[in-house]
Structure 1
Amino acid sequence: MDHSTNGYSSNDSLHHYDYYNFYSSSESFSEDDCSTDDALRAELFGRISRDVDMEDYVQYVYGVSKADIEYIRSKEWKVEGLPTYTKLLNEGAQKEDLYEPFQSIIADLFDTFTNDGRKLDVHHTSLDETALKGVWNVGNPDQLFFFGSHDEEAPVAWSLAKAFVEFGVTPRRQRTAASDSTIAVSSPGLVPTPTLTTRSSTKRKHSSTDTLDGPMPAAKRPKLVVFTRKEMQAAGYALELLASTCRRWATGVVIIDTQVALHYYDRMGAIYAQPFKFDEEPWKLALFALAIGQCDLVQAGFEPLVAPDTDTLLSQPLFSVKNAILRLPKYNSSKDSAYEGDDDKVIGNKVKGEAAVEKVWSHFKITGEPLYVYGGLTGRGSHVLPGDLVEEAPAQDRAEGVASKGKQVAEASEAPEGAMVVKLSWPMEKRPYLEADTIKDLVEKIPWMSRHLPRIHCAISLKGEFMGLPRRLFHDMTIAYGLEQRYFTLLFSDRYKHLWDVKTLIGFQMAYIDIVECHHTVTKYGKVLHRDISENNLLWTNDKRVVGVLNDWDLATPVDAVGNSTNHRTGTGPFMAYDLLGPEPPVHLYRHDLESLFYVLIWAAVHYNLGSDIPYSGAVNPVLKTWTGDYGEARNAKRAFLGDPEPVLRNIQPVFKSLRALWIRPLCDLFQEAQMNRDKHARARRARQEVIGRDVLTGSQRSALVTTGDDSDDEDNANNLALPEPAVKSAPAHDIDFETLGCLTFESFMAALAHWKPRSIPKEYREYAKRLVKEDK
């Protein structure tokens, strides 16, 4: 749910996680719905660069040339329709009354550009009552810019849009009272956010906010501002644009009265251009109109690797990625390569007992709609698409002019169409462990668990200039303030099914046990901790029986590096461990993943109707609704559940009833014991902190005084006695270690699963496994 979170406070929202693996959502956004706003505020906190010079903005984002800027500056711009627009404003018009006048203003500018020989590719329209269905249904923007091929008969869809337009009107009395260019917007729930402004100068140095991933330079501490309601609506529209057809960035414009602010969003945050008033600086509106009119698909943020077919480059937006192709960047050792550095590699097929198979892929054929769409604005931004890798024709065939259509792996192995998936994501650059590398290393290190790990066919990462992000051109802003940097990855693997698709309870049990054992083996022998256990990452496949597969390793970290590579909590909201939901989460431990596995089981038992036509609707049972709330709410809900699980257990699906006494109740007892031990450990720790160094008499000191036989000098003698360490001991808490809370281990977890006996390591690997453990010691 990119995302990993980034050290937010306890009341930060978890709503930005996509908990359900569905492409559409039944929930919609309304003007009174603050949950979406809260989530977006949390995501953008510390990640907005404001007051960027507009000329820089249109050059870096929309590809406007210096010659274009000179052309705009060389003309005197009289905005046709401006008197009508301002007259309506002064008369107290509603924002809907401004749509047509603004369209007329922009249309007149487009006509001027066309008459001057400029080539435009744009269509500007108001949505009015048009229902715009999106992935998250955040609502309709007031207007959209499309490409020139779009006409009134074409569907109105986020996937076809260039950019959004959102209007706002300041009440006339506020506008009259305003003495400067600051726009007062009446909006509930505004919160301060660190942001940094820059001077309007082509020679000034851009600056940006710092993220919560690093310290803020004292000399460049940003001022506090507030998010307006319109900014949150704009961020919601950007969320929709990024979710549609795998975009790399999204743009739009927010207009309050005559003040215009250009917005840019990518997986690292947002950049806002310095606002201007087009009634005072009409040339800037003309510059924006030229920029949005001329920009192509790539400059509008569309994924450049997607194309309608192998013979055609993407020239117009696709309504859907289904049946499109994803081109694979070609490796080239030159400086113009799509790869950067020695870390960029293509990983070939590797399965147990086989050597790596080197293949050259031509492209990936997308066979359906996205299987997963990341639910956040910033963060990993993962999209998972079904399809098949297609091999490139041999060099000899290409030399002889044979069509390079290649051969689909799915056809070669007689697998069904769409037997693979590709995950497009934006992991943090500072993470030294690529997901593909982690999986490859684990398969090599613990081969007896390879069938429970994803099978990787190919992995590619793009960094620096090869990502093509406009943000790179604002490098002095992002680098100067230590903002999180990300790179773009493509991971091609086999396609697996989710646990709710298992037909029987026995099949579910087999897959679940496989995953618990795989997770333990990876931690103990592979020395890697997963750190993102969720229902979307627990998968299965058919291999003579139901076989569980633990997926999604992009947050995994070597056990000895946990807490060092990142300094923020990881996990997916409803399944995060109790400790990790606190305001100061500790280092992620093995027991935290065990707790997440427990919560996945509870979630499944309440929601999955195994074997039915609709095994999982995605609707959250009200009894677990609070698990999807903000961190504080989810933490309180988990504590209440651990204290009394019965209200939740009464909602178990009929198919899981037989597991209530066999698995679920024993696990509840185990984690209730852990909760009591956690409380004891916390009380003992607080007591030690309160007593150490204080002028107080302890029981051990009193015993020492009694042995002196001189009670008359108790006070003086007590002052001369050394304070024992620790000063206060709680007998039950003395032996409780924080790492396991005295009871949370793999062995105790398996014992709670009806004393399920862990499988033994195959004979041929036993001595090798012993050496792995000894190496760690």
Structure 2
Amino acid sequence: MPSASTHHTPVKKGSGSGNFNRDGDSLNAKPMRSALKDEISAYHHSGIELVDIAVAIWGVKRETANKILQLPLTLDPVAVENYKRLPTEGDLHQPFIDFAEELLQKVHAALHPNEPFESFKARVWDREGNTALHHGGRARKPDMLTLFKPMVTDTEVPWWGLVKHIIEMKHDTNKVTTVSQEKSADTNDPSQPADQQPDVPNRALVNSISTKPKVPSRLNPIVSSSHGHNSTHTADSDLTQTSGMVASVVASSKGKGKRNIDEVLAEDDEKAAEEEDQAIKRRKLAGKLKEDHLQLATYAVEAMSATSRNWVAGTLVDTCEVTVLLLDRHMVARTTTFSFDTDVAKFALMIYAMTRCNRLQAGFDPHLRASLSQITEAEAQPTTIRVPEELPFHPSSDPTSSSTPDDEVPPLRLKITGIIRQPDDLISRGTSVFKVKIVGEDGKLSEQDYALKLSWPLKQRPSEIDVIQHLKAKLPAELHDHLPSLTFSTSFSAEQLSLPWTKLGGSLSLNTQNFQERTLRAMLADYYHKLWEAGGPEAFKQAWLDCVECHYEAFRTGKVLHRDLSENNLMVNFVGDEIKGVVNDWDMAKFEGMAWGHLYRYDLESFFYILLWAAIHYDLKQRKKLRKVHSALKGWISNDMDVNAGAKELFMTSPLSYNGVYAAVRKEFKEIEKNLIKPLHDLFCEAMISRSLALRRGKANYDYVTCGGVLTFHTFMEAINVVPRWAKSNK
């Protein structure tokens, strides 16, 4: 009924359900960030130490990490001060990259003097957030991305499946000006009048410089640099250059005159109290998700859905404040924020670890080992998705190993030929489905197509594989054609995949409120077609009826309720001249007694909505689905559950609404509208009225499960004048 409309939406979408609205607001990141906030909040963990991420996730040895943290590393304070004062966020990018490259060179010289240098700078893709990466109907403009190999040309745009790490830059110039003024004020001598204070930056910082890196001209819009091939560069020359830079800050203190010691101490006490208040506020906010974190999460969704990936690392740089986030199907883990201008060694450790980590340590699925397809001009178009070529599975061996012991079964090698479904949510099942062919020992591909499904269901839930095997053991043999035909299946635990949370140990405080363990399951089955590929109205009707009857027998005889029906899991299989409907995707199914809060009639209502949705959006003759959602059904796909439920309730009861919907039914579906859709519409209206009257009258013995017997499988079939083939009895 409409009060439970979220159980039976014809097109499942998210974030949180694996199919975010691709026809409208998914192109706008704002609604996706809102959905991700709801999805992530309960599974957000903060306060992780960067060194733990570097060691446990990115593969740096603890001894090496400690060495880096003890190195006497510094950044030129003049360059840093100029960096902070740059007018826009885009201006920060190149100086930030230069800082990172400088520190990486110093660390490399200290730890690996005899090894070739691996540049950070050469592997950064930076378009200052002005260039979009297209994927899944969405356009995202990340600030910076790091890659395993440099792009071939300056104009080339990377594919999300090649991204190693994500870097998002922010810049609050108001906050920076305030901090700079406070630092400048700290250098003043209170015993002198304000107009006699020296116009210099913090002398302690200047005196700490041991070497002077060359600073790019774009780093110094406020002062001109004397760094040149023939220039003599000293700390004193830096002090001279900065006089103009700090003059505006010092000028604000002029004219105050001398202060006695009591005034100075009082101001110090007041300042200390203010700083403590600010520290308390920062601690309160430390565990909260910010818009910047959610923006990083939207990029992580793209990177994880572009290929089968287990986690993504993102770095948020707010001028100098740095936070690293690890995002996977279980949680978002966030480091304690540090400032790279003061914690220089920590910054160096982060860049070193990010640069040296391999594909496995960057979260890529260990089964994706083959090279990527060559990029063609056609593949560069936004509507085309590139995929890895092969997926070798080792059912009984360590998935992180590329070798197969002699006494084990050789890996199953699969050639990807297309993408059926990609996830666009984060902490969820994250279901990916690929169209594949089996690669034989001779390298030849199978003639038959298969579907490979990779998903992350909750570990505590029944395995989809177990559910299908159970149903085939319980249901008559003639119904087996209406269930997925499995060729291969396996599962991988979090420990086998070395997921971040298994390695962070005591850094995380996991409980049932902030953590739910998931398992990666891989399942290879026969490839089936979508309902809109049925070929014609009669074939479509037959496939839909097959699914209705198979679903009921699974419930009646197998004691299993599907609970997640949509147009994406009612499939069509062509067997010779016959067409058979297949009920797919049983990963949300529960056995009898487990499906609390979900009734069989909810799934019946899903069948009805799928039927009506198809009548408006399927071009059966062309075997395709219309991409644009009809305006009459826009409310049905809203991310707002109240809007979703209201739209369906209006359709059920309002002539203005349902007449508008029926006017949109395609010509080839008019017989289905007459014989199936409208009779079922009447049945559901009758059930609604019966239930409403019972609630109003307070009937004690009313059967709410079936709306007083009005809505059952048999009344459903009787309404459309179809005799069941297997469930003969009306009991």
Match of 2:621 among 602, 611, 616: 611
Partners of 1:136 and 1:240 within 8 A in 2: no
Match of 1:759 among 696, 720, 725: 725
Equivalenced residues, count: 591
Task: Tell me the equivalent position of 2:666.
Answer: 653
Task: Tell me the equivalent position of 1:602.
Answer: 612
Aligned equivalents of 2:330, 2:629: Cα separation in 1? 30
Task: Tell me the equivalent position of 2:391.
Answer: 326
Whether 2:551 is the aligned partner of 1:523: answer: no
Task: Tell me the equivalent position of 1:102.
Answer: 96
Whether 2:713 is the aligned partner of 1:746: answer: yes
Match of 1:364 among 399, 402, 413: 413
Matches within 5 A, 1:412-431: 415=448, 419-431=449-461
Partners of 1:261 and 1:273 within 8 A in 2: yes
Partners of 1:607 and 1:621 within 8 A in 2: yes
Task: Tell me the equivalent position of 2:603.
Answer: 593
Deviation at 1:752, TM superposition (A): 2.0
Task: Tell me the equivalent position of 1:443.
Answer: 472
Matches within 5 A, 1:575-724: 587-612=597-622, 615-629=624-638, 630-644=640-654, 645-685=658-698
Aligned equivalents of 2:177, 2:294: Cα separation in 1? 21
Aligned equivalents of 1:180, 1:757: Cα separation in 2? 82
Partners of 1:362 and 1:390 within 8 A in 2: no
Partners of 2:494 and 2:518 within 8 A in 1: no
What SS is found at the alignment partner of 1:679?
A: helix
The structure with the larger Rg is: 2
Whether 2:498 is the aligned partner of 1:498: answer: no
Matches within 5 A, 1:204-353: 226-308=288-370, 322=387, 324-331=389-396
Whether 2:41 is the aligned partner of 1:45: answer: yes
CA RMSD in angstroms comes to: 3.3
Residue identity in the other structure for 2:499: L
Aligned equivalents of 1:86, 1:677: Cα separation in 2? 73
CA spacing shift, 1:532–1:260, aligned 2, 3 Å: same
Task: Tell me the equivalent position of 1:548.
Answer: 581
Partners of 1:264 and 1:270 within 8 A in 2: yes
Whether 2:171 is the aligned partner of 1:169: answer: yes
CA spacing shift, 1:238–1:555, aligned 2, 3 Å: same
Deviation at 1:76, TM superposition (A): 1.0
Aligned equivalents of 1:388, 1:622: Cα separation in 2? 39
Partners of 1:681 and 1:738 within 8 A in 2: no
1:255-293 CA distances to partner (integer Å, 9 max, x unpaired)?
Answer: 112100001100112011110011111111101001101
1:718-772 CA distances to partner (integer Å, 9 max, x unpaired)?
Answer: xxxxxxxxxxx5xxx854433445311111111222x1111147xxxx9xx99xx
1:531-560 CA distances to partner (integer Å, 9 max, x unpaired)?
Answer: 000000000111131110000000111122
Aligned equivalents of 2:518, 2:180: Cα separation in 1? 41
Task: Tell me the equivalent position of 2:595.
Answer: 562
Aligned equivalents of 1:661, 1:177: Cα separation in 2? 72
Partners of 2:170 and 2:319 within 8 A in 1: yes
Deviation at 1:683, TM superposition (A): 2.8
Task: Tell me the equivalent position of 2:246.
Answer: none
Partners of 1:253 and 1:262 within 8 A in 2: yes
What SS is found at the alignment partner of 2:92?
A: helix
Aligned equivalents of 2:704, 2:181: Cα separation in 1? 62
Aligned equivalents of 1:759, 1:156: Cα separation in 2? 53
Deviation at 1:626, TM superposition (A): 1.5
Aligned equivalents of 1:180, 1:458: Cα separation in 2? 65
CA spacing shift, 1:231–1:224, aligned 2, 3 Å: closer
Q: TM-score, normalised by structure 2?
A: 0.75
Deviation at 1:151, TM superposition (A): 4.4
**Structure with the bigger percentage of helix:** 2
Matches within 5 A, 1:35-184: 35-80=31-76, 83-90=78-85, 93-116=87-110, 117=112, 120=118, 122=120, 123-128=123-128, 129-135=130-136, 137-152=138-153, 155-172=157-174, 176=178
Aligned equivalents of 1:331, 1:661: Cα separation in 2? 54
Partners of 2:537 and 2:669 within 8 A in 1: yes
Partners of 1:58 and 1:288 within 8 A in 2: yes
Aligned equivalents of 2:371, 2:102: Cα separation in 1? 37
Gaps of 5+ in 2: 184-283, 373-379, 402-407
Aligned equivalents of 1:610, 1:179: Cα separation in 2? 69
Aligned equivalents of 2:389, 2:451: Cα separation in 1? 14
Partners of 1:121 and 1:147 within 8 A in 2: no
Structure 1, 742-751 or 169-178: larger mean CA deviation = 169-178
1:557-595 CA distances to partner (integer Å, 9 max, x unpaired)?
Answer: 1122222xxxxxxxxxxxxxxxxxxxxxxx111111101
Matches within 5 A, 1:393-404: 404=441
Aligned equivalents of 2:35, 2:298: Cα separation in 1? 10
Partners of 1:126 and 1:143 within 8 A in 2: yes
Task: Tell me the equivalent position of 1:716.
Answer: none
Q: TM-score, normalised by structure 1?
A: 0.71
Task: Tell me the equivalent position of 1:212.
Answer: none
Residue identity in the other structure for 1:466: Q
CA spacing shift, 1:264–1:309, aligned 2, 3 Å: closer
Gaps of 5+ in 1: 182-221, 311-317, 340-358, 392-403, 564-586, 686-728
Deviation at 1:61, TM superposition (A): 2.0
Aligned equivalents of 1:337, 1:166: Cα separation in 2? 32
CA spacing shift, 1:259–1:376, aligned 2, 3 Å: same
Deviation at 1:229, TM superposition (A): 2.0
Partners of 2:58 and 2:354 within 8 A in 1: yes
Task: Tell me the equivalent position of 1:217.
Answer: none
Aligned equivalents of 1:624, 1:70: Cα separation in 2? 59
Residue identity in the other structure for 2:44: I
Task: Tell me the equivalent position of 1:692.
Answer: none
Partners of 1:528 and 1:558 within 8 A in 2: yes
CA spacing shift, 1:148–1:73, aligned 2, 3 Å: same
Deviation at 1:388, TM superposition (A): 2.3
Task: Give the number of the structure with larger relative contact order, counting CA–CA contacts within 8 Å between residues 6 or more apart.
Answer: 2
1:407-436 CA distances to partner (integer Å, 9 max, x unpaired)?
Answer: 75x34xxx3xxx1011111110111x1111
1:474-494 CA distances to partner (integer Å, 9 max, x unpaired)?
Answer: 355253455100011100100
Aligned equivalents of 1:751, 1:160: Cα separation in 2? 54
Aligned equivalents of 2:92, 2:535: Cα separation in 1? 56
Match of 2:482 among 449, 452, 471: 452
Partners of 1:85 and 1:102 within 8 A in 2: no
Partners of 2:369 and 2:391 within 8 A in 1: yes
Whether 2:401 is the aligned partner of 1:434: answer: no
Task: Tell me the equivalent position of 1:388.
Answer: 437
